[in-house]
Amino acid sequence: MKNEEKAYLYWLHQIRGIGDKAIVRLMQEFGSAKEVYEAPEKKLQKRLEKKTVEELQQVKEKWDIKNAYEKMREKGIRLISKEDREYPKRFRKMEQSPYLFYVIGSLPKEEVPSVAIIGARECSGYGEMMAEAFAERLAGAGVSIVSGMARGIDGISQNAAAAAGGSTYAVLGCGVDICYPASNKKLYEKLKESGGIISPYLPGTMPQKMLFPYRNQLVAGLSDAVLVIEARQKSGTWITVDRALEQGKDIYAVPGRLTDRLSDGCNLLIRQGAGIALSPDDILAELKMLENRKKKKNMDCNKGEEQGLLKWLDYYPKPVDEIMEAVKREDGEMTLPRLMLELVQLCMQGKAEQIGGNYFMKIRNAAFTHTTTASDG
């Protein structure tokens, strides 16, 4: 996405009453944020509530599109949308992924495993020691550490990861330009160099209790696994755990004494089936297994890439939009130009046929022909 369009998208995100869903809908209907900006008021009233249109017009009158966006960029803040290549694949897999978010620093590398380390704000000496030990070992082994930069376990683990020369990323429940809590100012500055600071909320947004559940969901979304170190039976940590489970992520917990209330949550997680983290090597071994499974899956996909696309075709013509919808459920990054290119390639190979421009069908015995050719070669 070009900077000019991002400037208009930044303006659109300022409007109260226009969240992610509304932005997606408007982008689909108008084609771009710039087109929304230039749309006549009557046209907007057909798609938005009256109060929202009034707010939009008010902001439009006093908003300097180019200067406002440049001022944000001067602070080292970048706006990332789903239209950008660097939008994290881990976010794309989420059911409630942000259409846009802001970042200072960098984003977690897709090919590098990441672990969220979370836990009690008011942790014990034992919890502090475990957070430092696990984060230092994992970060030293090349694992990205993700957390919320909160007091206690979150901040301790991120400080340890940075000290070990590793990469660590914080997802905030406020704007990326707001250091919260203020006591983690040194860590906040470290993150700009040793990782990144991420938020789905507008720069300048102050921390509010209602913003943190979604923050926790994004922490889980950016991670391949979640490690809990000290948590009471009822705490905010459980929001992250629940969201991670919904996303199919592995949960690990560091066990504690039965008489220690700070360990109640971890011990309960273990009883419910979470992995027991007795050492950082336990998690590293699991991450290695996960990496091997991904590699095998990718190899299998590459071997049967054409056959994989053929499975979405049938022996009667199907419209491209129907094929696209089916393919995107498996490959969230599929684009229409790429799909059309691959469909045309299948036609050139005699495995599919294009009917009437936007319809494609599988040629009978195409799969058999492909198999025979492969064995003959």
Q: Is 109 helix (H, G, I), strand (E, B) or coil?
A: coil
Q: What pLDDT was estimated at residue 309?
A: 80
CA of residue 359 relative to chain centroid, distance: 33
Q: Which CATH class is domain 304-376?
A: mainly alpha
Task: Give me 300's structure tokens.
Answer: 């299998």
pLDDT tens-digit series, residues 285-334: 888 877 766 665 555 444 444 456 888 888 778 888 888 888 877 777 77
Strands, E, within 235-336: which ranges? 250-253, 275-276, 318-319
Check: CATH 3.40.50.450 for 104-292? Answer: yes
Please tell me if the domain spanning 104-292 has the same topology as the one spanning 304-376: no
Chunked mean pLDDT (size 10), the chain, 377 residues: 90 89 88 90 87 89 91 97 93 92 96 95 95 96 96 96 96 97 96 96 96 95 96 88 91 93 93 93 85 59 55 82 82 79 82 82 56 34
Closest by alpha carbon to 23, among 93, 11, 104? 11
Q: What pLDDT was estimated at residue 305?
A: 41
Q: What pLDDT was estimated at residue 157?
A: 97
The pTM assigned to this predicted structure is 0.76
- Report d(CA 340, CA 327) in Å as an integer: 12
Closest by alpha carbon to 275, among 244, 247, 254? 254
Q: What pLDDT was estimated at residue 184?
A: 97
Q: Is 149 helix (H, G, I), strand (E, B) or coil?
A: coil
pLDDT tens-digit series, residues 68-109: 999 999 999 999 999 899 999 999 999 889 999 999 999 999
Domain boundaries, the chain: 3-74, 104-292, 304-376
- Going by the DSSP 8-state scheme, the letter that residue 229 receives in this structure is E
